[in-house]
Amino acid sequence: MAEKTAEDRLIAAALALRDRVASLHFAPPVAYVYNPLEYAWAPHERYLRSYGAGHKRVIFMGMNPGPFGMAQTGIPFGEIDAVRDWLGIEAPVSHPPCEHPKRPVTGFACTRSEVSGRRLWGFFRKEYGTPNAFFADHFVVNYCPLVFMDESGRNLTPDKLPKPERAALQDACDEHLRAVIDILQPQWAIGIGGFARDRLRELLADSASKAEINIGMIPHPSPASPSANRDWDGPVRAVLVEHGLL
C-alpha cells in the first residue's frame, strides 16, 4: 500500500476534527454554532489538497473563522476575493443546519469582505507573488474551526466560552494541531494574535518537538484592533524579518 501523502493526512486530520467538534454542546450565551468543515468542506478539502504538500518551514495559526471569511469559504482567513482570485479556489458551499438570519452563509456569493483575510492574504501576495511561492514553505491554519454567535448574531470567540466547554473544545483542537505539526514538521509556528501564540506555547510546552519548533507572534489583522487599522503590514514584516523569515 502506498504511503499517504501530507495532503491525505491533513485531510484525514481535518475530518477527524470536524466530526469531533460536531459532537460538542455549548450553552448560552452561545446560540448558533457554524462548522464550516461540514457545509464548506469542498473548498476546504481543495485548499488542503492544493497547498498542503510536503514539509513547511513556517505555519501561521489563527483563532477561529470570521463571519465573512472561513465561515463563507471554508478556508482560514478566507476572504472571498483572496480565495477565488489569488488561491484559485471556488467550490460549492451549502448551509449550517441552524442559521442566524443576520449571518447567512452565501458562500462565494458573499458580498462582504473579511478585512482580516484581505490583510493577511494581501500581505502574502505582496511578499511572495504567487500562492505556490508562498505555500512552498508556509501554511495557514485555524486553531478552532467553529463560529460562535449569541442570539443577536454577535461573534463570540473561543476564549470567552465557559471553562468546561472551552476545555472540551481545546482537547479536540489541540489533537488536530498536534497532527498538523507532525505532518508538516515546521521549524516555526507563528500565532496570529496572542490567543493563537498562547495555545501554541501550551501545546508545545510538554512536547518532544519543543526544542525544534520556534514560536512567534504577529499582530492580528482584525479591524477591531486600532493598531492594525493604522499599519498592519509594517509590524508584521518587522517581526518576520527579525526572525529571518522574510
Q: 1 lies in a domain?
A: no
3-state secondary structure of 160: helix
Whether 4 has a pLDDT exceeding 70, the answer reads yes
80: domain range? 6-242
What does DSSP assign to residue 30? -
What does DSSP assign to residue 217? E
Per-residue pLDDT at 224:
86
Q: 227 lies in a domain?
A: yes
- pLDDT average, residue stretch 17-44: 97
Q: 51 lies in a domain?
A: yes
Residue-wise pLDDT for 198-221, tens only, equals: 999 999 887 655 558 999 999 999
Residue-wise pLDDT for 172-204, tens only, equals: 999 999 999 999 999 999 999 999 999 999 998
Summary count for the chain: helices (H), strands (E): 11, 7
Q: 165 lies in a domain?
A: yes
Q: 187 lies in a domain?
A: yes
Confidence of residue 1 (pLDDT cuts 50, 70, 90): low
CATH number at 99 reads 3.40.470.10
| Domain count for the chain | 1
Per-residue pLDDT at 131:
98
Residue-wise pLDDT for 113-169, tens only, equals: 999 999 999 999 999 999 999 999 999 999 999 999 999 999 999 999 999 999 999
Q: 30 lies in a domain?
A: yes
Work out the burial of residue 15: count CB atoms within 10 Å of its CB; fewer than 13 is exposed, 13-18 middle, 19 or more buried: middle
Residue-wise pLDDT for 47-101, tens only, equals: 999 999 999 999 999 999 999 999 999 999 999 999 999 999 999 999 999 999 9
Give 233 or 209, the one with higher predicted confidence.
233
Whether 107 has a pLDDT exceeding 90, the answer reads yes
- Tell me the C-alpha distance between 188 and 166, whole Å: 26
Q: 225 lies in a domain?
A: yes
Per-residue pLDDT at 225:
86
